[in-house]
């Protein structure tokens, strides 16, 4: 990620992000941002100066989140603020936008003093992942609020346990936006234990949404072989074909895609190259490489450069020429 600088002049805060190679603008995300669809996303502008690309954001009439929490914030106001933030995360995911591209370092997160809504920057950048994920940000948030007293100790404990996704029901449950939203509703209304709801969600999420039995989970591999996978604590990455729903699990450190039958994922489309692309795994991260294909490889509608590894994230939309897949990482 390029270097971010923050300037404050005459009450106007300006965040400036100078991109560094191999970062480039994600035109799909930038176009959506310019439509101002999301109330909690700060407006940005892209400025091109020669070979330099700069993203800048002007912040008006807001206060830093650290300053906001320096004052007393009630549990009800805190939860209401979080629910607005979660609603925005849901909208971003619905539009297939990688929420890990949100700038969630507390220095660059602001509160609208009128609406009490969290406002942050969404960087429309390919091959970018911020150091503070939404999960980490939400965990820090409750600790920033020093006004919570002993009467809220139980809520704070359940809140942190949920965000950390502690092992419940023999499953190390991944962080879930929808589940987190339910937890906030329960905490606000005090209807029942969050832990009970958490267990219920664990049961639901170890079954396929299409009611396929979980244990063992049978899927069809890209080479038409039927394989069985059982749930463990390892991450499982896969490509899901949008057209027919077929899941192709990514195994090993190098996963090759193309029309050649020797590839791990053999595609038959007329616009697919013999050796079209590959996914490599390094230090638990996944990178997509275009292998000089004729019709290109795209992440979220942006064509990636030939031969350069571009990191891919959960729920990324990947096109090999005209064939669309969703990349997911699950436990």
266-285 pLDDT per residue, tens: 998 889 999 999 999 998 89
Q: Using pLDDT thresholds of 50, 70 and 90, give the confidence band for residue 217.
A: very low
Tell me, what's the pLDDT at 231?
37
Taking alpha carbons only, the member of 34, 20, 254 closest to residue 127 is 20
Name the residue ranges covered by the structural domains of the chain.
3-69+91-125, 218-330
Q: Residue 41: what are its φ and ψ, rounded to 5°?
A: -105, 125
Average pLDDT over residues 23-35: 87
CA quadruple 262, 265, 266, 267: dihedral, nearest 10: -150
For domain 218-330, say whether CATH 3.40.50.880 is its number: no
192-216 pLDDT per residue, tens: 444 444 444 444 443 433 333 323 2
Residue written as token pair 């699990």? 249
Q: Which residues lie closer than 8 Å to 33 by C-beta, 6 or more apart?
A: 41, 43, 44, 122, 124
């Amino acid at each position: 990620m390029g270097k971010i600088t923050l300037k404050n002049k005459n009450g106007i805060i300006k965040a400036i992000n100078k991109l560094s190679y191999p970062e480039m603008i994600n035109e799909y995300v930038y176009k959506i941002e310019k439509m101002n669809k999301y109330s909690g996303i700060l407006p940005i502008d892209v400025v091109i100066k020669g070979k330099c690309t700069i993203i800048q954001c002007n912040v008006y009439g807001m206060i830093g989140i650290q300053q906001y929490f320096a004052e007393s914030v009630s549990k009800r106001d805190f939860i209401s603020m979080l629910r607005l933030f979660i609603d925005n995360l849901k909208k971003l995911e619905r539009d297939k936008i990688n929420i890990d591209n949100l700038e969630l370092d507390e220095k660059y997160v602001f509160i609208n003093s009128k609406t009490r809504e969290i406002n942050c920057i969404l960087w429309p950048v390919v091959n970018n992942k911020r150091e503070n994920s939404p999960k980490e940000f939400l965990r820090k948030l409750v600790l920033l609020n020093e006004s919570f007293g002993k009467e809220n100790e139980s809520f704070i404990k359940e809140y942190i346990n949920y965000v950390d996704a502690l092992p419940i029901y023999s499953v190390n449950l991944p962080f879930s936006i929808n589940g987190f939203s339910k937890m906030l509703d329960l905490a606000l209304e005090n209807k029942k234990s969050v832990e009970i709801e958490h267990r219920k969600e664990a049961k639901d999420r170890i079954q396929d949404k299409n009611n396929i039995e979980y244990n063992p989970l049978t899927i069809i591999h890209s080479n038409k072989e039927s394989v069985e996978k059982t749930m463990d604590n390892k991450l499982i990455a896969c490509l899901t074909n949008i057209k027919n729903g077929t899941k192709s699990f990514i195994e090993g450190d190098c996963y090759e895609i193309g029309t050649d039958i020797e590839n791990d994922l053999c595609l038959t489309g007329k616009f697919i190259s013999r050796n079209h692309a590959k996914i490599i795994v390094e230090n638990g991260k996944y990178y997509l490489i275009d292998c000089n294909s004729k019709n290109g490889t795209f992440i979220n509608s942006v064509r990636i450069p030939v031969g350069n590894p571009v990191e891919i994230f959960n729920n990324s939309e990947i096109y090999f020429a005209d064939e669309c897949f969703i990349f997911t990482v699950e436990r």
